[in-house]
Structure 1
Amino acid sequence: PRSSIGLIMPPAADLGRALCVITGASRGFGRAVALDLCRLVQPGSALVLVARSGADLRAVQAELTESEAGRAGLKVEVVAADVGKLESLENIVRTSRDVFNDEMEKIILINNAASLGDVSKYVKGFTDMAEVDAYLSLNVSSAMCLTARLLQAFPAHAGLRRCVINVSSLCALQPFRSWGLYCTGKAARDMMFKVLAEEEPELRVLSYSPGPLDTQMQVEARTKTADPSIKKTFSNMFAQGQLLTCEASSAKLMKLLLEDKFTSGEHVDVFDV
């Protein structure tokens, strides 16, 4: 963004008073994002953390509550839920409404929850429609419906900025053999959020690819992938120390949010930040 006198505006020092909703927040990248957002929002903000594991969520909640931001009044609520289920989406929206207050100037939704799917077989092996439907429900439908519900719950108005982040992947852009479900889900999500950006010009929309992260999903990738060359690639990345930490990738996402220069709807890779 440029000022009226043509100077490039510096990045914001923080994200203001915000309501931040993060799915898949109990571990890995989602947990790292929650910890970073905690430090970048102003007092009076709230975080709503969502994941299937209640115990892991409560551990993150305790960590944030005991942090400097928590002691300064940051609210941290948890919703132990499967985002692929309708009642879970209702619980997330209800909790978000409960912690929102009129002093908040920003809403940030991080659509991070995702699964790898069965990478032990190729596309020709997916003959069970119920299996494919279940994958797409968790990885595509839930992100669309949660986003839609939150946008309806918090409609656009003067003084409220809304930002939706889709945690994407290189797999949204490139095919990986034996990763048919994952690539399909990520490509569908990218396009969904491109459409959203076109439909809602005041909304800030970003598909962020966090890169090859050292997570449990990576363990699945290098142990269960059917295609030998893809499997070897991931195994080599791990062996050669080429995986990124969740903290390093989250820091790049925070940089994008603070600078706020991305084109709404675009796909940005961690290595381009």
Structure 2
Amino acid sequence: MSDFISDGCQDFGRALCVITGASKGFGRELAVQIAGLLKPKSVMLLVARSGKQLAELKDDLVASDGDKSQLVVHCIQADLGKKEGVEKTIRVAKETSAMDIDHLLLINNAASLGDVSRFAMSFTDREEVDAYLSLNVSSVLSLTAGVLQAFPWRHGLRRTVVNVSSLCALKPFPSWVLYCTGKAARDMMFRVLAEEEPDLRVLSYAPGPLDTDMQTQARCYSGDVKIRQSFSSMFAEGRLLTCQESGAKLMRLLLDDDFPSGAHVDFYEL
């Protein structure tokens, strides 16, 4: 078992923080919030397909750091739906494994909605389904395993793995078969990980309905009329959540560190 016992922390320590899907939306906001909670000489690995957006985020993080030598930021342009993208990310993480850190924080945020205009009976193309699962499920397990192997348990090292989840991991949404399947698989994946590795702190966090590009896609293209109308009403009535307010709840949850490892926690439960 880990020797880390917390009654609530004010920061994440001197950490290596890996965030996938960091270039925009919730991932970008998490990078900004986490950067302000890291001790000097921490390292952030920001992973996404868009190199330009990652570079812009890096500039913003460095500019907000009072002493530019205090935070090291590496941008990893990679498609995690492909083997090469996962291997590249793990390789860069391994290159930092000799650093003196007291916290490994891995945020598995990268995900795609999939084609929500269609219903389950239309997905006869196995290659299409495999491609979706490669990014949203397979890569998550491979990346998590590779990063954890690069940073095995040792005295004084806290290791935290976060899966950005969804209500869709628990509840079926018509015309969202790919997304619901991927999120449910990821939740179970991390529940198993928590059982197998008791020294880890493992969390699946459902951030709620966020005002992001993915939400725009959902309310415009969902094949199920009720779902499309529901999200459209939430948008029109200003009931969508901002990435900032949901991210702030996740930060508090991680800093308080009193959740059962492997738990699924929803924004509205906090």
2:205 maps to which residue? 208
1:5 maps to which residue? none
Q: Which of 219, 227, 245 is 1:222 aligned to?
A: 219
User: What SS does the corresponding residue of 1:110 show, helix, strand or coil?
Assistant: strand
Residue-by-residue CA offset, 1:132-189 (whole Å, 9 max, x unaligned): 0100001000100000101111111111111100000000000001000000000000
- Is 1:130 matched up with 2:127? yes
Confirm or deny: 8 A CA contact 1:119 1:224 kept in the other structure: yes
1:120 maps to which residue? 117
Structure 2 CA distance, aligned partners of 1:107 and 1:30? 17
Confirm or deny: 8 A CA contact 2:24 2:53 kept in the other structure: yes
Pair 255,225 (structure 1): closer, same or farther in 2 beyond 3 Å = same
Structure 1 CA distance, aligned partners of 2:236 and 2:66? 37
Structure 1 CA distance, aligned partners of 2:66 and 2:23? 19
Residue-by-residue CA offset, 1:224-248 (whole Å, 9 max, x unaligned): 0001001000100000000000011
Structure 1 CA distance, aligned partners of 2:57 and 2:67? 12
Residue-by-residue CA offset, 1:34-55 (whole Å, 9 max, x unaligned): 0011000100100000000110
1:78 maps to which residue? 75
The 5-angstrom pairing of residues 1-273 of structure 1 reads: 10-68=7-65, 71-273=68-270
CA positional deviation for 1:102: 3.7
Give structure 1 stretches of 5+ with no counterpart: 1-7
Residue-by-residue CA offset, 1:98-146 (whole Å, 9 max, x unaligned): 3344420000000000000000110001111111010000100010000
Structure 2 CA distance, aligned partners of 1:88 and 1:218? 26
| Count of matched residue pairs | 266
1:3 maps to which residue? none
User: What SS does the corresponding residue of 2:261 show, helix, strand or coil?
Assistant: coil
Deviating 4+ runs (over 4 angstroms): none
Structure 2 CA distance, aligned partners of 1:130 and 1:138? 13
Confirm or deny: 8 A CA contact 2:116 2:176 kept in the other structure: yes
Alignment-mate amino acid for residue 143 of structure 1: V
Confirm or deny: 8 A CA contact 2:132 2:178 kept in the other structure: yes
Structure 1 CA distance, aligned partners of 2:84 and 2:105? 21
User: What SS does the corresponding residue of 2:36 show, helix, strand or coil?
Assistant: helix
RMSD: 1.3
Give structure 2 stretches of 5+ with no counterpart: none
- TM-score, L = length of structure 1: 0.95
Structure 1 CA distance, aligned partners of 2:202 and 2:112? 22
Structure 2 CA distance, aligned partners of 1:90 and 1:69? 33
CA positional deviation for 1:73: 1.3
Q: In percent, how many aligned pairs have the same letter?
A: 58
Structure 2 CA distance, aligned partners of 1:229 and 1:262? 34
Residue-by-residue CA offset, 1:37-86 (whole Å, 9 max, x unaligned): 10001001000000001100100011011112562510000000101111
Structure 2 CA distance, aligned partners of 1:263 and 1:33? 22
Structure 2 CA distance, aligned partners of 1:216 and 1:256? 25
Structure 1 CA distance, aligned partners of 2:167 and 2:66? 34
User: What SS does the corresponding residue of 1:66 show, helix, strand or coil?
Assistant: helix
Deviates further, 95-104 or 142-151? 95-104
Confirm or deny: 8 A CA contact 1:75 1:99 kept in the other structure: no
Alignment-mate amino acid for residue 194 of structure 2: A
Confirm or deny: 8 A CA contact 1:46 1:100 kept in the other structure: no
Deviates further, 226-235 or 61-70? 61-70
